[in-house]
Chain A
Amino acid sequence: MADTVGTRGLEAIKAPLFREVKKGEMRKHIINLTVRNELGVLARIATLIAGKGYNIEGLSVGETHEKGISRMTLEVIGDDVVIDQVVKQLRKLIDTLKVKDLTDTPHVERELALVKVHTATPRARDEVLRLVEIFRAKVVDVSSETYTVEITGTEDKIKAFIELVRPFGIKEMARTGKIAMKREGSIQEEE
């Protein structure tokens, strides 16, 4: 090497070296936030996530037992490394009090769906009622043509229910976003 420091020089190696650039896995993350219920707080959070080029897949917001404090649960599909960055940036927002990515922490999660199913024939009514029973759901509105079913549970449970009633014809459907909470005990309740 022309300009190394002579005999006292540092040794040179021949091949270039590369830094490992950490790339995360793309997957769905569940992020819980405790926020001050200030003007624009939701917009700020949404702006931040949209700014990363990510879509908010699910969102639920509600008040907590403390006045002026709300709880939010966000579902975002994203690269683990980028989500880690998002979480740090969410924490930096002035109105967020706590931010936690629950994805890899044992947690309870629930969502609720209202599904209006075509039940024009007696057979359909019977079958849907049976499904409602099996899934421990509830019929909350009845017309000559439809049942409206309320179902709560995990995403998987709701998905399964929807697939089973889909053949009857779904007229309308509304789902809440997930709400989630860290588990304290280690006992998993039956779903």
Chain B
Amino acid sequence: MLRKGADIVIETLKEEGVELVFGHPGGAIMEVYDALYRDGYIKHILARHEQGAGHMAEGYAKATGKVGVAMSTSGPGATNLVTAIADAYMDSVPVVFITGQVPTHLIGNDAFQEVDIVGITRAITKHNFLVKKIEELPLILRQAFYIARTGRPGPVLVDIPKDITQKLSDVPVPTFDEVKESLPGYRPHLEGNLQQIKRAVRFILEAKRPVMYVGGGAVQAEAQKELVELAELMNIPVTTTNMGKGAFPELHPLSLHMLGMHGTYYANMAVYNCDLLIAVGARFDDRVTGKVEEFAPQAKIVHIDIDPASISKNIVVDVPIVGDVRIVLRKIIEELKREVAKTLYPEEKQKWIEQIEAWRKKHPLTYARSNSIIKPQYVIEQIYEATKGEAIITTGVGQHQMWSAMFYKYSFPRQFINSGGLGTMGFGFPAGIGAKLGRPEREVFVIDGDGSFMMTMQELITAVQYRVPVKVAIINNGYLGMVRQWQELFYERRYSEVDLSVQPDFVKLAEACGAAGFRAEKPSEVREIIEEALKIQDRPVIMDFHVDREENVLPMVPAGKSYRDMILEDGKKSVEAETMYLVG
């Protein structure tokens, strides 16, 4: 059937199962918006800034596991998407970005609203395309979805010149097999090398002090069941990264919670002293390893990852296994079940678990409580209790993000949504809107910083327009708190340009937009307003928590330092961490 390029776009999106897109129109993409209007099936969320649309698509994708879609016009519309594209790239989020482009004959002419967005995003997309002929349009769009969601997921951008959206063609939408065949250079490796799997099994059987270190790849692969099974079968404690939260339930007795810069004492001590580290869908980020020479210095390392380029990138590993985390774990478990009787050191392993429990008792996650001033950690604990640990949490970037990682306990994958790799302030609120639209049955709390919220707060009106009942908890310390903390600890308290005490009245702001607004200034008000907020289900809510301004995120391993240099919750260095190197 002859139809416009713009109609092919909509037809292909529907073929891919897309029901919801986020975006902002403009000249170069008007045809697509017209087709969207005429067709009427796909719901569109009109963000107030393309960055917002991009993060909403990410939040939607992270919460649902489906591919998110964000659209914008050419030029400034496209450049406004760039931060979200980079964010999706760093956190391996499957999002297809569709940008309008100036008509083909004007490309390269510095035409009105022309930017080379394909060039700009080359280093921050998994792949990108400029559509040159209408005949390629449906194939490219389907390739974009296929590439975005398979292998190590990531953002794919499709740039469509305006004339191509206007031309007519009867080119059919290709089938899935045709799409796969059209990409001979793209074959994600899923199964894992059997030889390496057998070696991993042997290492696991021989370990005295094993630890599993689990990252975002395990969330993407939906491997929670396998992780729990392996941990319980072999009695292996599990620590997760920021991105890996929820891949292993944090209330499980074998959970060590987060490791790394703001990891728990017991997770970091366990990693530092282990003799076998099983890295699962994690990438040895510098926020996790600190100084690499002293990261798990006694350990043999098994690394399971879908991305061959992630393996042995920062640390050379002993057993590399390229494959889908869930499939590989399943194979390891099956092998282990046959061999479990051959476990060499069950007693040592028991001692190891006891040692970890001693560390856990000695330095649990904690903070100095107060009756007069709201502690930020207290707010998060209260949100945790009020939501029974069942809410989806999104965050901005800063101290509040780390407290959200520490003081909410996550039990299911895709529950904790934040910007891990790029660390994008302003991510949390639009991502929360996207998450709530994707998972309407769940409460979604955006635990945001005052600084972070102000970076994308224009989306408040978007949430009001579409009646998205996200709950925004602003951990309002009147500071760019994380930067202030570093200035306190490493720059002799020279607080250079971090004061945010001049800020809008967030309650009035909420009301001005037609949202609900509450404020808490005393600890006794905290739970009260959370309960009030939970009653509201027809519009967004802003809770403005005025918290202790100079609270710090602890424990902390200073950047580039070893776990031995860990600063504990009392602000002092840990003597044990400095001196203890265990042997089995």
Contacts and interface: CB of A to CB of B under 8 A. Distances in A.
Contacts, number: 106
A10 B122 contact: no
Interface stretch (A14-22, A71-79, A119-127): A14-22
Contacts of B502: none
Contact of A18 (B128, B293, B351): B293
A103 interface: no
A156 to B, nearest CB: 33
A36 B294 contact: no
Given A10-B584, A94-B127, A88 B576 contact: no
Interface centre among A14, A17, A19, A89 (most CB of B within 10 A): A19
Interface in B325-348: 348
Interface residues of B, number: 46
Interface string B292-324: 111111100000000111001101100000000
B186 interface: yes
Contact of A43 (B119, B348, B581): B119
A186 B69 CA distance: 54
25 contacts: A1-B576, A2-B575, A4-B582, A8-B351, A9-B355, A10-B352, A10-B584, A11-B582, A11-B584, A12-B579, A12-B582, A13-B582, A13-B583, A17-B294, A18-B293, A18-B297, A19-B293, A19-B296, A36-B184, A51-B123, A81-B316, A88-B308, A93-B185, A94-B127, A94-B183
Interface string B118-148: 1100110011101010000000000000010
Given A9-B355, A11-B582, A92 B308 contact: yes
Contact of A85 (B122, B309, B579): B309
A96 interface: yes
A10 B359 CA distance: 13
B576 A3 contact: yes
A3 B362 contact: yes
B351 A47 contact: no
A39 B132 contact: yes
Interface in B207-238: 209
A13 B348 CA distance: 16
A128 B528 CA distance: 94
A16 B294 contact: yes
B129 to A, nearest CB: 8
B373 interface: no
Contacts of A40: 118, 122, 128, 130
B564 interface: yes
B97 to A, nearest CB: 16
Contact of A5 (B307, B355, B576): B355
A22 B301 CA distance: 14
A78 to B, nearest CB: 15
A91 B309 CA distance: 9
Interface string A57-87: 0000000000000000000000001001100
Contacts of B358: 3-5
A97 interface: yes
Interface string A32-43: 000110011001
A14 B309 CA distance: 36
Interface residues of A, number: 40
A44 interface: yes
Contacts of A91: 308-309
A19 B316 CA distance: 10
A5 B581 contact: no
Query: Which 3 residue pairs are nearest across A and B when measured between Cβ atoms?
Result: A88-B309, A17-B297, A10-B582
A97 B187 CA distance: 10
A5 B209 CA distance: 14
B130 A39 contact: yes
A3 B313 contact: no
B186 A94 contact: yes
B185 A10 contact: no
Contacts of B351: 5, 8-10
